[in-house]
Amino acid sequence: MTTRFENGIVVTLGEKNRVLWNATIVTDGESIAALGDPAAMKQRYPSADAVDCSGKIILPGFICTHHHFYSTMARGMGIPGQPASNFVEILERLWWKLDRALDEEDILLSAQLPLIDCIRNGTTTVIDHHASPAMRDGSLDLIENAVRQAGIRASLCYEVSDRNIKRGGIAENKRFIKKVGKGDGQIAAMMGMHASFTLSDATIEECVDIAREAGVGCHIHVAEDAADREDSLTKYKMPTVNRLHKLGVTGEKAIFVHCVHIDEDEMDILAETGTIVVHNPESNMNNAVGVTPLLKLLKNGVLVGLGTDGMGSDMLVQMRCAYLLHRLANHNPRVAFTEAPQLLLQNNAAIAKRQFGLKLGEITEGHPADLAIIDYQPPTPLSEANFLGHLIFGLVDATVDTTVCKGKILMKGKQVLVMDEERIAARSRELAPQMWKRLQEL
């Protein structure tokens, strides 16, 4: 199927970002076939379907490098007693009960709703981290089916932890990694692990062996809270990153999520091993765990991406949160203007390339046809020179109108075409109170 996306402002991104007023993008099958002058494109592809993008700006689909689909049903849930007073209590009283209360249909609905949210926000690639100890085996297949139905791309993994049963979840990762193999460009697999403080050396070593043999990376939370660092220092006499490096977890495909409480030596290890760090500013603020040393990590040459940690699926909002947080945290109004967009626009694309083997994040001939088409009438001139100003202060509040992934239109005119949101949300509202009840009894 060939489609001409006409009359929009195209922002190509990539190494040499170009802002092209009134250019036409032609997609053919799953790829971008051409980009250029509207009349020439019409002449070259006369029988292609035409989609009018006037009054809109077209960017490559956004990428989220850390998400938790399974957190969906936490929204609006009350927890009896005093609010959790620290990070470990938040895990014990909320997340480690919620994941145990999820049944088969909850898992499916909990994936479908954020996937719809991804489509609504132009997010076309997600790296997810899943947990559901009571319904573990086969859970990644349920999510895979939902992802395929949604039509976006996702890398999936199951959170291994010694918290419920020793080495729980290893088999599910192993099975799914084998099933996915090298991947088909839509679904990829990683070895999921919770965090250093819930994993023994033996469990980590087993995970690393499986990941190495399959050529996939490990996806693990690292030093999110000071408690993770203290645990590692007390039990293993070394900081978290050192411990994980010693056990072989680091590497170019490995994703170390958060890295809030790390020192300079740990940063060096991350840089030397090419290990990926993913920053989740909203989540860190919500859990009051601290501020990732983002600017230092970038300065040291660490590849840092941007995720939501399950807080949502809107990547522009997350980007702006990173921008504001690091200005405030550094007491410096000169920083983060280029760095926050860099995480989202360049670094997330580089991370996705390592996981999917695809050149995402750039509108250019031959690249995957993943597009976010956003309502935007620039109130001031817009060019390559001032694009970031429009991104941070304008596009962040603009509405996505049309979302395209693998050349397929998933949403058009703000209507999600691939899933029945009303029915899925209604069913989720029906099941969530039952899940909350099971959770209270745990």
State which residue, 231 or 309, has the beta carbon closest to Zn ion: 309
Q: How far is the CB of 284 from Zn ion (least distance, A)?
A: 10
Q: Are 229 and 223 in contact (CB under 8 A)?
A: yes
Q: Rounded to the nearest whole angstrom, what is the least distance from the CB of residue 221 to Zn ion in the complex?
A: 5
Minimum gap (Å) between residue 235 Cβ and Zn ion: 22
| Binding positions for Zn ion, 55-114, rule CB under 5 A | none
Under rule CB under 5 A, how many of the chain's residues touch Zn ion? 1
Tell me which residues in 166-205 interact with Zn ion (CB under 5 A): none
Tokens 């909320």 correspond to 94
Closer by beta carbon to Zn ion, 24 or else 308: 308
Stretch near Zn ion under the rule CB under 5 A, chosen from 120-128, 132-140, 301-309, 395-403: 301-309
Which residue sits closest to Zn ion, CB atoms considered? 309
309 binds Zn ion (CB under 5 A): yes
**Residue among 13 and 278 whose Cβ is closer to Zn ion:** 278
Site for Zn ion in 403-442 (CB under 5 A): none
CA distances from 107 to 91, 114, 179, 212 (A): 19, 11, 20, 28
Spatial separation of the C-alpha atoms in residues 30 and 1, rounded to whole Å: 9
| Shortest Å distance, C-beta 126 to Zn ion | 12
Nearest to 212, CA basis, from 188, 242, 179, 177:
177
Give the position of tokens 């983060």: 336
Contact 8, 20 (CB under 8 A): no
Cβ–Cβ contacts within 10 Å for residue 424, how many?
A: 17
Specify the stretch interacting with Zn ion by CB under 5 A; choose among 11-19, 264-272, 308-316, 371-379. 308-316
CA distance 260 to 264: 12
CA distances from 93 to 74, 199, 439, 440 (A): 12, 19, 10, 10
Closer CB to Zn ion, residue 225 or residue 309? 309
Q: In sequence order, what are the beta bridge partners of 219?
A: 192, 255
Select 172 or 309, whichever has its Cβ closest to Zn ion.
Answer: 309
- Rounded to a whole number of angstroms, the minimum distance from the CB of residue 276 to Zn ion is 14
Determine the straight-line distance between the first and last CA of the chain, rounded to whole angstroms.
Answer: 51
Measured CA to CA, the distance from residue 393 to residue 211 in angstroms comes to: 41
Distance of closest approach, residue 305 Cβ to Zn ion, in angstroms: 13
Angle CA(22)–CA(23)–CA(28) in degrees, nearest 5?
Answer: 140
Please report, as residue ranges, which positions from 337 to 366 form the binding site for Zn ion (by CB under 5 A).
none
Q: How far is the CB of 309 from Zn ion (least distance, A)?
A: 4
Tell me if 144 contacts Zn ion by CB under 5 A. Answer: no
Compare residues 115 and 278 and give the one whose CB is closer to Zn ion.
278
Q: Which is nearer to Zn ion, 56 or 129 (CB)?
A: 129
Least separation in angstroms between residue 68's CB and Zn ion is 5
d(CA 332, CA 1): 50
The amino acid occupying position 342 is Q
Closest to Zn ion by CB, 66 vs 390, is 66
- List contacts with Zn ion (CB under 5 A): 309
